[in-house]
């Protein structure tokens, strides 16, 4: 019997058993109600599976029918229903008790990952989750009927632990295969084969189709083809130039990973055509939903509208149920095995091409005591896992042999300014890079003569920083700062360097900043010899919650991070447009980092590729590619990298002065009171006068 037949049989057996659950009464009403809800969800998945297989899916249904079907899958986690959903750990605990509430909430969330597997026809993934539900249900019923007690928390956690451990190899091979193999790419089929004038295609993904996603797709369908071409061509050309600048032979590559929100298919179709002319095929994965794939708060691959960001926030640490040393070792082992299986495909992987979105409704996360949280030891293990998993990946996909590009566009959720902002974003993304290259070279020429830079905030901003700079040995051939125009990071507009850590001291403060979709209010980070010594914000009433929020979402659970980048953004056009339209607080860091000086915490911009020579357009080699931490790679590789890089920008209107200071004490102001005062930069101030 082939594997397909085996899974067909297992699926039918599991389905038949799950159909019986709502009819059974074993004597614990609250648990009977819960398991009935779980069974009904699985039956809903099965009904959708039959609809996709037998009814032709979207081809034979009306748009309203598809909307209703999509809503049925996501209704109970929408904000208006979430408070009475078992997916909400607080509700689950209130109904099922502290002993099992959190664990059974997790089970429901894992069952919800079946939605994507159903639409992609991944039968094995459906089966193992249905069998997990049956195993837990059977354990509960048996314990009650035999001993008149419900299983303890540890009993259920043991089942969940072995689920995660036993299927770690299945998950790793599936996910890494999806990331590297272009054959039968689910997302590419939708992009290339659908009638994109018929919005029913959106429902073929199985992702949540929000009103904003529908409006985005409708808006895109009405854009002239030349506009679509300009968007896609800027995106793909930036990708190509990234390889050119780094002297990487793109002709040796075979695949490019596309990341986008559904609704952008017209642009993505043109992009796929452009990439094909470069010899690249798309690989597109679904945004992580299963705990076995380690989902995070930042979407990747293709993804729909966000039904409820609090739902994601509540379950960001669900791995706490099984994360221990044995699991880390097991997962690392199966990752290596999966990469070995796909090592030929890994050699052909060129890197990601990302379309970010911005403008989503603001989100103030609520920290719930019922939600799972990583212990201090688990935090350490997770940091270790990410570092070692990254090392394995780089063995098969060397950093110096790949590149990337990122571009961003607003979504309708931003409000009435959407259409005007969209056109402004296209304009910003296609600014004349030659103008910026010349101006930025003027800035670099001065910064190359500096010993350090001083940055002081104004208008309530408390920043007071001294950033130590690399000292040039041969100024005629070397430079400290990279002249960054529109290639991998679109749009144009920054010069950046890796600062010297020793001697970099002071406080970085911003009144308001959005990082990976999360707002930080009055964020203040203190540096001592380039390393984070202290941090705080005003998001929560308690300092403990504020520090935990920063630790999880900026430090990524590391006890400290270095200042990996110091940069000066020069895109005043983007800044003025954002101020005029009132969307400064909605911009992604990709654009916001070009709108003032910014500082990245984590690895440098040259992480894992420090040995590769990089040159500015003037021919000088950028020699400030390392810092004292990254240099440890030569002796203590585990201490050299942090596998994170988060940019924090001080907007021009919060900047009193940024000055280059030479060894003789001479100060050369670059920016004063939010305006460029360095000779040769006058053109940057023209945007402020419009």
Strands (E), 275-314: 281-283, 302-303
pLDDT in tens, 241-250: 989 888 899 9
Answer whether 176's CB lies under 8 Å from 338's CB: yes
What is the spatial distance between Cα 536 and Cα 529, in angstroms, rounded to a whole number? 19
Answer whether 378's CB lies under 8 Å from 326's CB: no
For range 306-318, the mean pLDDT? 95
What are the distances in angstroms from CA 620 to CA 326, 434, 624?
A: 49, 17, 12
What is the spatial distance between Cα 215 and Cα 199, in angstroms, rounded to a whole number? 10
What is the spatial distance between Cα 505 and Cα 523, in angstroms, rounded to a whole number? 17
Q: Which pairs count as long-range contacts for 607-616, CB under 8 Å and 24+ apart, including other chains?
A: 607/399, 607/564, 607/641, 607/645, 608/394, 608/399, 608/400, 608/641, 609/246, 609/399, 609/400, 611/400, 612/246, 612/247, 612/400, 614/245, 614/246, 614/482, 616/441, 616/444, 616/479, 616/482, 616/483
- CB-based contacts of 510, cutoff 8 Å, min separation 6: 461, 463, 520, 522, 523, 648, 649, 650, 651, 654
**For the packed helices 376-396 and 325-341, what is the interaxial angle rounded to 10 degrees?**
10
Q: What is the DSSP letter of 687?
A: H
What is the spatial distance between Cα 114 and Cα 163, in angstroms, rounded to a whole number? 15
CA 658 to chain centre: 31
pLDDT in tens, 472-506: 999 999 999 999 876 778 898 999 999 999 999 99
What is the spatial distance between Cα 111 and Cα 102, in angstroms, rounded to a whole number? 14
Answer whether 520's CB lies under 8 Å from 539's CB: yes
pLDDT in tens, 608-663: 888 888 899 899 999 999 999 999 988 877 789 998 999 999 999 999 999 999 99
pLDDT the model gives residue 55: 66
pLDDT in tens, 66-110: 999 999 999 999 999 999 999 999 999 999 999 999 999 999 999
Residue 382: is its pLDDT beyond 90?
A: yes
What are the distances in angstroms from CA 634 to CA 334, 566, 629?
A: 27, 24, 10
For range 158-187, the mean pLDDT? 96
pLDDT the model gives residue 635: 82
What is the spatial distance between Cα 197 and Cα 222, in angstroms, rounded to a whole number? 9
Q: How many helices (H) and strands (E) does the chain have?
A: 25, 20
Q: pTM above the 0.85 mark?
A: yes
Work out the percent of the chain whose per-residue pLDDT is above 70: 99
For range 49-54, the mean pLDDT? 92
Sequence length of the chain is: 690
pLDDT the model gives residue 1: 57
pLDDT the model gives residue 636: 78
For range 305-315, the mean pLDDT? 95
CA 200 to chain centre: 27
Task: Give the pLDDT band of residue 432 (cuts 50, 70, 90).
Answer: confident
Q: How many CB atoms lie within 10 A of CB 637?
A: 11
pLDDT the model gives residue 585: 79
Average pLDDT score over the chain: 94
pLDDT in tens, 438-474: 999 999 999 999 999 999 999 999 999 999 999 999 9
Cβ density class 97-117: b for 16+ within 10 Å, e for less: eebbbbbbbbbbbbbbbbbbb
pLDDT in tens, 265-300: 999 999 999 999 999 999 999 999 999 999 988 899
**For the packed helices 433-447 and 682-689, what is the interaxial angle rounded to 10 degrees?**
120
What is the spatial distance between Cα 661 and Cα 447, in angstroms, rounded to a whole number? 9
Work out the percent of the chain whose per-residue pLDDT is above 90: 86
Task: Give the pLDDT band of residue 42 (cuts 50, 70, 90).
Answer: very high
What is the spatial distance between Cα 127 and Cα 277, in angstroms, rounded to a whole number? 40
Residue 338: is its pLDDT beyond 70?
A: yes
Task: Give the pLDDT band of residue 514 (cuts 50, 70, 90).
Answer: confident
Residue 4: is its pLDDT beyond 80?
A: no
């Amino acid at each position: 019997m082939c594997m397909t037949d085996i899974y067909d049989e297992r699926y039918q057996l599991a389905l038949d058993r799950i159909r019986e659950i709502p009819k059974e009464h074993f004597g614990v009403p609250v648990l009977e109600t819960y398991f009935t809800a779980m069974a009904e969800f699985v039956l809903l998945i099965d009904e959708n599976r039959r609809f996709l297989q037998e009814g032709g899916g979207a081809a034979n249904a009306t748009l309203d029918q598809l909307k209703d079907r999509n809503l049925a899958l996501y209704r109970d986690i929408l904000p208006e229903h979430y408070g009475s959903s078992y997916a909400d750990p607080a509700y689950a605990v209130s109904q099922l008790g502290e002993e099992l509430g959190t664990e059974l909430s997790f089970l429901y969330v894992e069952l919800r990952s079946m939605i994507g597997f159903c639409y992609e026809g991944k039968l094995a993934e459906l089966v193992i989750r249905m069998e997990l539900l049956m195993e837990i249900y059977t354990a509960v019923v048996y314990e009650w009927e035999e001993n008149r007690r419900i299983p303890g928390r540890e009993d259920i956690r043991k089942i969940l632990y072995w689920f995660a451990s036993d299927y770690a190899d299945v998950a790793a091979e599936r996910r890494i295969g999806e990331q590297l193999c272009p054959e039968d790419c689910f997302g590419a089929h939708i992009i290339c084969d659908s009638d994109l004038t018929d919005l029913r295609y959106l429902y073929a993904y199985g992702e949540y189709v929000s009103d904003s996603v529908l409006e985005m797709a409708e808006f895109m369908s009405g854009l002239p083809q030349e506009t679509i071409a300009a968007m896609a061509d800027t995106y793909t050309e930036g990708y190509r130039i990234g390889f050119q600048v780094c002297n990487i032979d793109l002709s040796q590559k075979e695949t490019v990973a596309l990341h986008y929100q559904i609704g952008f298919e017209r642009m993505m179709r043109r992009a796929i055509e452009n990439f094909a002319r470069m010899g690249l095929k798309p690989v597109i994965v679904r945004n992580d939903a299963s705990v076995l794939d380690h989902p995070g708060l930042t979407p990747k691959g293709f993804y729909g509208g966000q039904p409820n960001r609090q739902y994601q926030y509540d379950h960001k640490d669900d791995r706490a149920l099984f994360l221990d040393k044995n699991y880390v070792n097991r997962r690392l082992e199966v990752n290596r095995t999966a990469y070995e299986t796909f090592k030929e495909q890994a050699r052909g992987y060129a890197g990601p091409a990302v379309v970010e979105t911005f403008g989503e409704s603001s989100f103030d996360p609520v920290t719930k005591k019922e939600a799972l949280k990583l212990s201090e030891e688990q935090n350490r293990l997770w940091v270790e896992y990410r570092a070692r998993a990254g090392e394995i990946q780089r063995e098969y996909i060397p950093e110096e042999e790949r590149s990337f590009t990122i571009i961003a566009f607003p979504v309708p959720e931003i409000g009435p300014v959407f259409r005007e902002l969209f056109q402004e974003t296209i304009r910003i993304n296609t600014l004349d890079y030659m103008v910026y290259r010349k101006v930025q070279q003027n800035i670099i020429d001065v910064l190359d003569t500096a010993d350090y830079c001083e940055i002081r905030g104004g208008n309530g901003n408390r920043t007071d920083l001294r950033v130590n700079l690399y000292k040039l040995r041969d100024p005629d051939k070397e430079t400290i700062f990279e002249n960054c125009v529109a290639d991998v990071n679109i749009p144009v507009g920054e010069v950046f360097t890796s600062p010297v850590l020793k001697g970099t001291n002071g406080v970085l403060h911003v009144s308001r900043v959005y990082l990976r979709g999360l707002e930080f209010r009055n964020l203040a980070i203190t540096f001592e010899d380039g390393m984070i010594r202290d941090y705080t914000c005003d998001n929560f009433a308690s300092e403990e919650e504020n520090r935990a929020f920063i630790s999880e979402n900026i430090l990524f659970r590391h006890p400290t991070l270095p200042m990996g980048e110091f940069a000066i953004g020069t895109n005043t056009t983007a800044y003025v447009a954002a101020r005029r339209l009132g969307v400064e607080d909605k911009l992604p860091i990709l654009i916001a980092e070009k709108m003032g000086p910014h500082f990245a915490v984590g690895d440098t911009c040259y992480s894992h590729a420090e040995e590769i020579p990089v040159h500015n357009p003037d021919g000088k080699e950028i020699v400030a590619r390392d810092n004292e931490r990254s240099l440890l790679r030569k002796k203590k590789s585990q201490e050299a990298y942090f596998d994170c890089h988060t940019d924090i920008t001080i907007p021009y209107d919060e900047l009193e002065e940024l000055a280059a200071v030479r060894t003789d004490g001479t100060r050369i102001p670059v920016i004063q009171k939010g305006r460029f005062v360095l000779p040769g930069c006058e053109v940057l101030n023209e945007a402020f006068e419009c």
